[in-house]
Structure 1
């Protein structure tokens, strides 16, 4: 079976004479391309298309990239907390720090590790214990911050990973690394890799959908390339759904057009693209055809899935009052559940505002209040509907925060710098142990002392849970075989059921 997913072609109509004439012109161009020992092809190809074509490896099929065991997860919802949430104020409880308030971080702990330019010139690195209390919750008696009371109620469903680490110390390369497996832009996003490897189970909605919270501070920018297709065909890119009149840009018909007009236009456009494909054999042409057809079908499917007016008051109460305000994190969590019910393969929510270099206690309290109830509500809602058993839920950011305060420290106010050496995220649902904590950091949450987990390990494990072998999910581009985990990555076997 080929990796290329076939789409139902549009209905054929009689070729217009103008199209026939165009085809003859393309044939003459093909003649030029095939003459002069191929020099015409080199020159004209450089003028018309400077993109280096990529392709799956010849030996690659769906069977070779899928695991021999059945996938645990059919779909993923990834709640990305952009900016780097502090592990100290959420899940990594460090009670011994209370007695060390204001003391300088010992050199034996720092071990000469790199600091960002924002705190490298500080005369001292004063230890800042969290001002928030922790308590044990659930049957597992797991420590959770008072800032996350709703998440604490579902902690027995969570698999906490406290020993994530990355080499990237600044936001753009760190978030790019998490989303694409490389710190530099240009690679396919994790959702695009999943879409490429597994395709869609719903032909009326994209397999990879992105939702961005409108009610989050815009402290660090988000770029469409974070859910882009990179060098994969464009049909595998993420599609952003927005709040408001037009959930998907340019989807609605222009004024004066109706569905029949749109259908006729697409039929002629499909013929033009088919002529282009016959002449050039560029796979991007077929991707373009399939995207136009998807957009036509989405004119009906998107308004239906975006409509939450039929949800009960109990459901809105579960996600919190913000869930009635489209575009908020809570509303996006509710929408994510609806998309997962429609068998959308990969849903990614981005919530900015976690970059607390100063005034951290106030800032992180606000952030947790925005996401806590809806996150727990999503877990509960999925479980009630029988979806959690084959849906993987992920929560986390691009790195952690430092134990020391960046800048001024007081008993009530402090900030934390970026810390890539250890941080916490969690998974829940399909294929991972529930009510489980994996990995351990030192008393300063500065170094990992047990079971380190690299970003590539996380990516490999996510693909594994979907039934994909990260070492076999490969795309050949510019003469090299690329994969999400590059040349690294191993399964986090300790968290798997």
Structure 2
């Protein structure tokens, strides 16, 4: 037999390589479609083609109590001792050393055995039909106590801002996990065709410590990330067309680009291409819908006065009113950050300003939703990433971070309103009754939305992930 030449071997090698590439390109896509169909079937969306609306409305596991969420995130860690958790013993022992055993094995950034107890800096009175003790700093919240469920027994795992904010927003202290709003839009889709399903506002002295990690979609398709809105100027940066570009030209350009993207989507099946197509189309529709939704011009003077809102001014009050307007228009999840509660010193004056900036608008939002007939289908959540210590930080008028116990409140459908759940010990250092971990809070929020938190999953890196990871128990005691 004649020996094969080096040229012949090279030609055969290139032919075999081409055949292998053909197999991987053509047959691999077929296998990919099989796998994708299996995943869609598992998630209850089988029968939908890749090219359909990825944010189409989906059904939860069981009938939901609510369909929208507004999260009032008080970034920095508001002090429960000046607002919601009155401790007569702490007031009585102000300026004395805590029992030595209280701090045994306790980890904190600025607290040491010589740190003295700090009593509440403001007075408390009993308000509402149940006589709930609440601070004089919160006269407007005192007026809605019969509509809220106050949880005094919250706990978390993190005692630094960024990890604790991520914990509250995503269920994990590490970057890269999907936020609560992302899980919600992944599970339910969107009722709004002209606005994002998940919107974020920022106010306060600075942005949140964990940044966009608080509203990122993590390993979920980026379609489910929160969209940051501004309360003055263009709702989203670069939403307006630049000079010289009319709407007809923009529409033609977008249609051409999206057609190319759809063709590529048909070939590779990458869900991120579907995200890109959807984002282009959403941005085009938002050019007319977002300015209308974000305008307060059609709100009455009485409504503006109730919130303390001023059209054209960036403020927490404006953001609360805008949150109601967005939920009215089908936005699923609105997250309001007010990062200014980190009072290591100057506590008395600083927390008073924080309450002046937020108390009226928070209460107005609950009242407004109730008046509009929307509170039964909307969940309003108020809280920060952790609480503050019952000990003074050094010799200052301040408190350190405290993950062991803190307070939050919620209002909306499916909850026992006008109630207080859980309690802390006489110094407010640890939870004494009915602890609620952040994972438990997440499990309960998902339950109100119609989801079993153990079944709302997404497969990533070889295992099924969920908002509560491998934790979380339903807080039955706050459910109506």
TM-score after normalising by structure 1: 0.86
Describe how 1:79-478 pairs up with structure 2 within 5 A.
79-116=72-109, 118-119=110-111, 122=112, 124-213=114-203, 216-218=204-206, 221-320=209-308, 322-409=309-396, 414-478=397-461
Q: 1:294: how far off?
A: 0.8
Structure 1 residues 303, 450: CA separation in 2 closer, same or farther (over 3 Å shift)? same
Query: Is this contact kept in 2: 1:67–1:464, CA < 8 A?
Result: no
Q: Could you tell which deviates more after superposition, 102-111 or 376-385?
A: 102-111
RMSD, aligned CA: 2.3
- Tell me how far apart the structure 2 counterparts of residues 130 and 112 of structure 1 sit (CA, whole Å): 25
Q: 1:330: how far off?
A: 0.2
Q: 1:65: how far off?
A: 8.1
Query: Is this contact kept in 1: 2:100–2:113, CA < 8 A?
Result: no
Q: 1:32: how far off?
A: 5.5
- Tell me how far apart the structure 2 counterparts of residues 367 and 217 of structure 1 sit (CA, whole Å): 10
- Quote the residue 2:11 is aligned against: none
- Tell me how far apart the structure 2 counterparts of residues 176 and 315 of structure 1 sit (CA, whole Å): 34
Structure 1 residues 65, 168: CA separation in 2 closer, same or farther (over 3 Å shift)? farther
Structure 1 residues 419, 41: CA separation in 2 closer, same or farther (over 3 Å shift)? farther
Query: 5+ unaligned residues in a row in structure 1: which ranges?
Result: 1-30, 43-52
Q: 1:40: how far off?
A: 12
Query: Is this contact kept in 1: 2:161–2:210, CA < 8 A?
Result: no
Structure 1 residues 207, 75: CA separation in 2 closer, same or farther (over 3 Å shift)? same
- Quote the residue 1:16 is aligned against: none
Structure 1 residues 66, 355: CA separation in 2 closer, same or farther (over 3 Å shift)? same
- Quote the residue 1:18 is aligned against: none
Q: Aligned to 2:154, what secondary structure does the other structure show?
A: strand
Query: Is this contact kept in 2: 1:79–1:393, CA < 8 A?
Result: yes
- Quote the residue 1:66 is aligned against: 60
Structure 1 residues 246, 407: CA separation in 2 closer, same or farther (over 3 Å shift)? same
Query: Is this contact kept in 2: 1:323–1:332, CA < 8 A?
Result: no
Query: 5+ unaligned residues in a row in structure 2: which ranges?
Result: 1-16, 29-35, 47-57
Q: Aligned to 1:351, what secondary structure does the other structure show?
A: strand
- Tell me how far apart the structure 2 counterparts of residues 420 and 90 of structure 1 sit (CA, whole Å): 17
Q: 1:418: how far off?
A: 0.4
Q: Could you tell which deviates more after superposition, 141-150 or 97-106?
A: 97-106
TM-score after normalising by structure 2: 0.89
Q: 1:495: how far off?
A: 0.2
Q: 1:253: how far off?
A: 1.5
Query: Is this contact kept in 1: 2:149–2:410, CA < 8 A?
Result: yes
State yes or no: 1:495 paired with 2:456: no
Q: 1:220: how far off?
A: 5.5
Structure 1 residues 211, 445: CA separation in 2 closer, same or farther (over 3 Å shift)? same
Q: Aligned to 1:427, what secondary structure does the other structure show?
A: strand
Runs of 4+ in 1 over 6 A off after TM superposition: 39-42, 62-65
Query: Is this contact kept in 2: 1:188–1:229, CA < 8 A?
Result: yes
- Quote the residue 2:55 is aligned against: none
Query: Is this contact kept in 1: 2:86–2:133, CA < 8 A?
Result: yes
- Tell me how far apart the structure 2 counterparts of residues 324 and 142 of structure 1 sit (CA, whole Å): 35
Q: Could you tell which deviates more after superposition, 103-112 or 425-434?
A: 103-112
Query: Is this contact kept in 1: 2:231–2:318, CA < 8 A?
Result: no
Q: 1:279: how far off?
A: 2.7
Q: 1:218: how far off?
A: 2.2
- Tell me how far apart the structure 2 counterparts of residues 32 and 439 of structure 1 sit (CA, whole Å): 67
Structure whose CA Rg is larger: 2
Q: 1:388: how far off?
A: 0.7
Q: 1:39: how far off?
A: 11
